[in-house]
């Protein structure tokens, strides 16, 4: 594992964008798994500025609330397009998101995995980390699921995400997420964390223990993980 502690969010975003850009330039048909959430937005902004060629890149968004309308500005699909895809030259047919409106979420998940397998798996996945150590929407649990699946959000995540939704909206209680197996099969994993509120989750990641009750700790088993944090997130390591 390679670990970088940056001075602040901007430095973290800039460094992460350099690493992702290196991957894209080195392999113009890279298959990328991308997180949404606040953490990677600065990284995506830096990548946009680089004017790289994304025309052969395939992108898989790693999660989605369920159910949620595709036009809801809080859907992961909307956020990924708004913060990144709409500003690069990726081909729309190469961008794959989970449909929060799917009538059959289980077959939606199954098809998502098939598409990833068809591409030969992910070359790189870019992750954030939840306050409780979740990655994607793989929440702390006794058992974690390898494949893409529909799952329950924990009360903590629902509470954490409530601030993103209007007061009269119901925060989705479920999500579809890329599974741990698919994330782990990626050649390279880049984990981003910023802010003091992530310090506890990050310190668990570095505690020398692996546990499904903090899914991020399992990243210690992967052969190529780069973790990029700001000082605040790294303050309890």
Residues near ligand GLP, by CB under 6 A: 35-39, 62-63, 128, 130, 136-137, 157
Q: Min. distance of Cβ 55 from ligand GLP in angstroms? A: 25
Residue 75's nearest CA partner among 102, 44, 107 is 102
Cβ–Cβ under 8 Å, residues 59 and 94: yes
Q: Min. distance of Cβ 61 from ligand GLP in angstroms? A: 9
Cβ–Cβ under 8 Å, residues 126 and 190: yes
Cβ–Cβ under 8 Å, residues 119 and 30: no
Identity of the residue, 38 or 120, whose beta carbon is nearer to ligand GLP in the bound complex = 38
Q: Min. distance of Cβ 34 from ligand GLP in angstroms? A: 9
Residue 49 CB neighbours (<10 A): 11
Residue 160's nearest CA partner among 10, 39, 13, 7 is 39
Q: Min. distance of Cβ 63 from ligand GLP in angstroms? A: 4
Cβ–Cβ under 8 Å, residues 172 and 67: yes
Residue nearest to ligand GLP (CB): 128
Identity of the residue, 63 or 67, whose beta carbon is nearer to ligand GLP in the bound complex = 63
Cα separation values, 24 from 20, 35, 123, 145, Å:
6, 17, 10, 29
Say if residue 67 is preceded by a cis peptide, omega within 30 of 0: yes
Identity of the residue, 3 or 161, whose beta carbon is nearer to ligand GLP in the bound complex = 161
Identity of the residue, 27 or 236, whose beta carbon is nearer to ligand GLP in the bound complex = 236
Q: Min. distance of Cβ 180 from ligand GLP in angstroms? A: 13
Identity of the residue, 30 or 83, whose beta carbon is nearer to ligand GLP in the bound complex = 83
């Amino acid at each position: 594992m390679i670990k970088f502690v940056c001075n602040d969010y901007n430095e973290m975003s800039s460094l992460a964008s350099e690493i992702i850009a290196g991957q894209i330039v080195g392999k113009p048909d890279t298959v990328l798994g991308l997180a949404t959430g606040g953490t990677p937005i600065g990284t995506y902004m830096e990548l946009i500025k680089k004017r790289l060629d994304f025309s052969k890149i395939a992108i898989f968004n790693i999660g989605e609330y369920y159910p949620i309308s595709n036009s809801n500005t809080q859907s992961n699909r909307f956020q990924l397009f708004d913060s990144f895809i709409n500003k690069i030259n990726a081909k729309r047919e190469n961008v794959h998101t989970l449909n929060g409106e799917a009538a059959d979420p289980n077959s939606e998940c199954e098809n998502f995995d098939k598409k990833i397998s068809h591409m030969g798996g992910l070359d790189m996945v870019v992750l954030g980390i939840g306050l409780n150590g979740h990655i994607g929407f793989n929440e702390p649990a006794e058992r974690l699921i390898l494949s893409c699946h529909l799952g329950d959000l924990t009360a903590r995540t629902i509470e954490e995400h409530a601030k993103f939704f209007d007061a009269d909206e119901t925060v989705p209680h479920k999500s579809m997420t890329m599974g741990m197996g698919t994330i782990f099969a990626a050649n390279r994993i880049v984990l981003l964390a910023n802010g003091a509120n992530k310090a506890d989750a990050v310190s668990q990641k570095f505690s020398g223990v692996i546990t499904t009750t903090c899914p991020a700790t399992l990243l210690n088993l992967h052969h190529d993980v780069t973790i990029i944090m700001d000082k605040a997130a790294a303050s309890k390591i």
